[in-house]
A and B are shown apart, each in its own frame.
Chain A
């Protein structure tokens, strides 16, 4: 079983829609969490870090539920430019600095 599991999608939504992605992690020692965005044939880039009580950045809201070991990403008022693959990521907090990536959830926003 992968350390981080995501629904691969694809999610196809119209512009302006709200869409939510969930992700679960298996290692209770995981301490830090992130959402990365990856455009087609490009490198992953950080979308947002996930703080313990959840956090918001414009149209994006990330939440963490340690008891259930899941992380969510909510995108409001979807734009065409939000079309990408979203990667859920965890960090166990070891000094090795290794991150654990989910396989990604594909989002397509249509006009």
Chain B
């Protein structure tokens, strides 16, 4: 039972490079989320998708784009990486609202030099 998977696990980029973080879930969940986590800042929501075909901005969307490719996959793209985007990125999914758990992937550790 894979749950939420993320690739890659680690990545080092130079300033200005682009990359896409991949996320997939096999639990048939409607909602998917991208967070970043920095020391002392907690989890901050970047973008989310309540259902296939829809995406919405979270707290810190600048510098990122997302694609909800289908119900399973939700990717996060950095078009021109900056050192301020050095962080741990978590993807998550959830069946819906209410007392439903949100499941997290193992995270991607990104360093931008």
Contacts and interface: CB of A to CB of B under 8 A. Distances in A.
Interface in A38-58: 41-46, 49, 51
A98 B94 CA distance: 9
A98 B101 contact: no
A93 to B, nearest CB: 5
A102 B37 CA distance: 12
Interface in B75-110: 88, 90, 94-102, 104-107
B20 interface: no
Task: Determine the interface band of chain A, counting residues with CB < 8 A from chain B.
Answer: 20 to 34
Interface in A71-111: 87, 89, 91, 93-99, 101-104
A97 B107 contact: no
Contacts of B99: 32, 49, 51
B18 interface: no
Interface of B: 30-31, 33, 40-43, 45, 48, 50, 56, 58, 88, 90, 94-102, 104-107
A97 B40 contact: no
Interface of B: prevailing SS: loop
5 contacts: A32-B98, A46-B102, A98-B48, A103-B42, A104-B42
Given A43-B90, A43-B104, A43-B107, A95 B97 contact: yes
Chain A interface mostly: loop
List of 5 A-B pairs having minimum Cβ-Cβ separation, nearest first = A103-B42, A43-B104, A97-B31, A96-B50, A101-B43
A34 B101 contact: yes
A93 B42 contact: no
A8 B102 CA distance: 22
A93 B96 CA distance: 9
A31 interface: yes
B57 to A, nearest CB: 11
Contacts of B56: 96
B105 A44 contact: no
Contacts of A93: 97-98
